[in-house]
């Protein structure tokens, strides 16, 4: 409990927050910090910015119990034990604070903590093991609210929350402090230039803290399914397609999905923060997304790609949001594409482009590309499903496949 007193003391007597006892869903409970540091501060200290976005059911404590169920006592043997997430978590705490618990200030002490944890899980006697720093049995966990989210940040009770997760409990009783803060990933998303601070995301991000209250603007999966189906029908499987490039990759969701399917995929994106979000969330796009302006990158590179995706980019060149003309940009796409170009762009039926893109519809786009490039055939793959809610009357863009 000494950590709770230190934490609350930081608010001062007059500002001491009110605590509400509430039963909260375990699916909404995310990892917190360590010692008297909140999740975000601890995440930046350790470099694990994804930590405050991980549900406790997938955290190092619950994962250790899952591994214990498989390995049994062998989990404490080397090199198994030192490779567990539980050990790494404790080791990070020692690095940052000089201790994990008051009796655990050397790496070799971590095993004592882990053995006590396992014994408690098995409801066995632990009276002969150190108790300093541990909360009394039966005490509620302590959580903070997460800003602009329906999730909670765990403050105290990592072990108790892990026990509940392993039992398959749907909820847990908690002392809730309504002192909301963003997770590092929320902050990064809000700093992406194209979003202008709005709680909107342009590609899927499986982050619990944004699922309920943030809007996914472009579903993306509808377009990916059309693209993959076309590649399969035309026998452009991963081994035959050559390199894949996503121009304007944003977070890198399409790059990540292509990689999962075995394609040698890359991206170009000029917003470094968006690239950083994808690096952390997707986990498989590191060093595959080039930070640069799309037109400049395509002009300077001599690389050719079997497949290029250019989704919702071209109309910005038509609108002269770049020094490069749309025809010049199309020429670069043509030059860099060996087999197929997947293309969509804004159209005149969209409310926000009804004047600025007058005359640009699926028929004129198709004719313009074929007239101004070496592409020989055009296929209409269908429109996206994003013309809904507050964006009804916008999007609904035709996805094309142009082949040589």
Return the pLDDT at 252.
Answer: 98
Q: How distant, in Å, are the alpha carbons of 4, 61, 291, 328, 360 from that of 133?
A: 10, 16, 46, 65, 66
Q: Mean pLDDT, to the nearest integer, of 295-313?
A: 96
Position 294 in a domain: yes
Q: CA nearest 203: which of 149, 265, 275, 150?
A: 275
What was the pLDDT predicted at 5?
41
Neighbours of 152 (CB within 10 A): 27
The secondary structure of the chain in percent helix, strand, coil, rounded to multiples of 5, reads 45, 20, 40
Any domain includes 16: yes
The average pLDDT across 255-266 equals 98
13 and 119 housed in the same domain: yes
Question: For 135, what's the count of Cα atoms within 13 Å in the CB-facing half-sphere?
Answer: 18
Average confidence score pLDDT of the chain: 93
As a whole number, mean pLDDT of residues 232-237 equals: 97
177 shares a domain with 32: yes
Residue 204 falls inside a structural domain: no
Single out the residue in 131, 161, 182 at which a domain terminates.
Answer: 182
Looking at the structure, tell me whether residues 254 and 398 fall in a common domain. yes
- Find the mean pLDDT for residues 187-215: 92
**Positive or negative CA dihedral for 312, 316, 317, 321?**
negative
Is the bond preceding residue 259 a cis peptide, omega within 30 degrees? no
- pLDDT at residue 2 tops 50: no
Is 201 within the bounds of a domain? no
What CATH code is carried by the domain that includes residue 226?
3.40.50.150
For residue 122, give every residue at least 6 positions away whose Cβ sits within 8 Å of its Cβ, in sequence order, or none: none
pTM of the prediction?
A: 0.90
Q: b/e map of 356-366 (b: 16 or more CB within 10 Å)? A: ebeebebeebb
What whole-number percentage of the chain has pLDDT above 90? 88
Q: Give yes or no: residues 170 and 122 share one domain.
A: yes
Residue finishing a domain among 134, 154, 182: 182
Residue 4 confidence (pLDDT) above 70: no
Same domain flag for 227 and 150:
no
Q: Note whether 23 and 156 are same-domain residues.
A: yes
pLDDT of 132 reads 74
C-beta separation of 238 from 261 below 8 A? yes
Instruction: Tell me if 172 is assigned to some domain.
Output: yes
Mean pLDDT along residues 74-83: 96
Q: Residue 214: inside a domain, yes or no?
A: no
Same domain, 268 and 339: yes
* Average pLDDT value for residue range 159-181: 96
Predicted local distance difference test score (pLDDT) of residue 126: 87
Does 197 map to a domain? Answer: no
> What pLDDT does residue 128 have?
84
Q: Give the residue numbers spanning the domain of 149.
A: 2-182
Tell me the pLDDT band of 16, cut-offs 50, 70 and 90: low
Examine the pLDDT at 39 and tell me if it is beyond 60.
Answer: yes
Predicted pLDDT of residue 15: 59
Q: How many domains does the chain have?
A: 2
**290 in the same domain as 164:** no
Say if residue 233 is in the same domain as residue 344: yes
**What's the rounded Cα separation, in Å, for the pair 4 and 6?**
5
Q: Which residue has the tokens 């003309």?
A: 325
Give CA–CA dist 337/103, Å, rounded: 62
Give domain status of residue 211, yes or no: no
């Amino acid at each position: 409990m000494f950590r709770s007193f230190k934490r609350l003391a930081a608010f001062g007597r007059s500002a001491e927050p009110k605590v509400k006892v509430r039963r909260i869903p375990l699916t909404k409970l995310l990892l917190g910090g360590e010692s008297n540091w909140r999740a975000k501060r601890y995440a930046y200290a350790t470099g694990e910015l994804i930590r405050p976005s991980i549900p406790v059911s997938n955290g190092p404590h619950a994962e250790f119990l899952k591994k214990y169920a498989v390995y049994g006592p062998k989990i404490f043997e080397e090199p198994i034990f030192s490779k567990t997430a539980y050990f790494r978590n404790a080791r990070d705490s020692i690095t940052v604070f000089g201790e994990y618990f008051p009796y655990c200030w050397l790496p070799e002490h971590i095993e004592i903590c882990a053995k006590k944890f396992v014994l408690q899980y098995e409801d066995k006697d632990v009276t002969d093991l150190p108790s300093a720093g541990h909360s009394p049995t039966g005490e509620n966990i302590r959580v903070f609210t997460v800003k602009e989210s329906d999730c909670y940040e765990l403050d105290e009770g990592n072990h108790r929350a892990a026990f509940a997760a392993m039992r398959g409990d749907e909820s847990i009783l908690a002392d809730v402090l309504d002192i909301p803060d963003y997770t590092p990933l929320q902050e990064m998303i809000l700093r992406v230039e194209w979003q202008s601070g709005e709680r909107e995301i342009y590609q899927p991000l499986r982050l619990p803290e944004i699922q309920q209250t943030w809007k996914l603007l472009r579903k993306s999966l509808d377009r990916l399914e059309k693209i993959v189906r076309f590649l399969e029908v035309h026998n452009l499987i991963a081994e035959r397609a050559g390199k894949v490039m996503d121009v304007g990759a944003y977070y890198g969701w399409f790059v990540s999905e292509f990689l999962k399917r075995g394609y040698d995929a890359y991206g170009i994106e000029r917003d470094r923060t968006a690239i950083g979000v994808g690096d952390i969330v997707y986990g498989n796009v590191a060093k595959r997304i080039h930070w640069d302006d799309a037109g400049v990158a395509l002009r300077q590179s001599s690389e050719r790609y079997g497949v290029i995706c250019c989704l919702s980019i071209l109309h910005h060149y038509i609108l002269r949001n770049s020094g490069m003309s749309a025809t010049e940009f199309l020429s670069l796409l043509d030059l860099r594409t060996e087999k197929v170009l997947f293309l969509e762009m804004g159209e005149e039926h969209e409310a926000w482009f009804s004047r600025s893109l007058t005359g640009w519809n699926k028929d004129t786009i198709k004719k313009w590309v074929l007239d101004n490039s070496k592409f020989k055939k055009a296929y209409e793959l269908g429109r996206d499903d994003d013309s809904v809610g507050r964006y009804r009357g916008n999007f609904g863009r035709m996805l094309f496949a142009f082949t040589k």
